[in-house]
């Protein structure tokens, strides 16, 4: 059964795409928690951080997130978040990085 993000990637479910390359795509979150809230997603349907292989080309996700942050003009700073598991709030079992910015982000998070 394809994940929600695989269905979005296949254009079966509409989304606002902001980036796509061979390895990664990015969409605006449907329920943004910051003025910029983008999900950066590997095309490979890895279920979460816990399932990331020990070796591989994992730099693509961070490189894409940085490029998108620059394109969004987040020069003042931004936050990347990965929720792993239910207790951390993960709701979609397909690895994704939340790119948040456009407002002051407090630390520590709630």
| DSSP class per residue in 38-65 | EEEEESS---SGGG--SSS-THHHHHHH
Per rule CB under 6 A, is residue 15 in the interface with ligand 5GP? Answer: yes
Site for ligand 5GP in 69-88 (CB under 6 A): 83
Query: Judged by CB under 6 A, which of 29, 43, 60, 66 binds ligand 5GP?
Result: 29
Per rule CB under 6 A, is residue 41 in the interface with ligand 5GP? Answer: no
Size of the site for ligand 5GP (CB under 6 A): 14
Per rule CB under 6 A, is residue 30 in the interface with ligand 5GP? Answer: yes
CB of 65 to ligand 5GP, least distance (A): 14
SS3 103: coil
* Angle at alpha carbon of residue 26, lines to 20 and 75, rounded to 5°: 105
For the annotated catalytic residues, the residue numbers are 96
Phi and psi at residue 25, to the nearest 5°: -135, 165
Strand partners, 41: 25
Query: Judged by CB under 6 A, which of 90, 97, 99, 100 binds ligand 5GP?
Result: 90
Strand partners, 65: none
What would you report as the CA-atom Rg of the chain, rounded to the nearest whole angstrom? 14
Interface positions with ligand 5GP (CB under 6 A): 4, 13, 15, 27-31, 39, 83, 89-92
């Amino acid at each position: 059964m394809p994940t929600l993000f695989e269905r979005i990637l296949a254009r079966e479910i509409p989304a606002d795409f902001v980036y796509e390359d061979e390895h990664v795509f990015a969409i605006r979150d449907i329920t943004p928690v910051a003025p910029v809230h983008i999900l950066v997603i590997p095309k490979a349907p890895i279920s979460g951080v816990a399932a990331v292989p020990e070796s591989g080309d994992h730099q693509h996700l961070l490189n894409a997130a940085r490029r998108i942050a620059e394109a969004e003009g987040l020069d003042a700073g931004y936050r990347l978040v990965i929720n792993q598991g239910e207790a951390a709030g993960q709701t979609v079992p397909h690895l994704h990085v939340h790119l948040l910015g456009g407002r002051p982000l407090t630390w520590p998070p709630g």
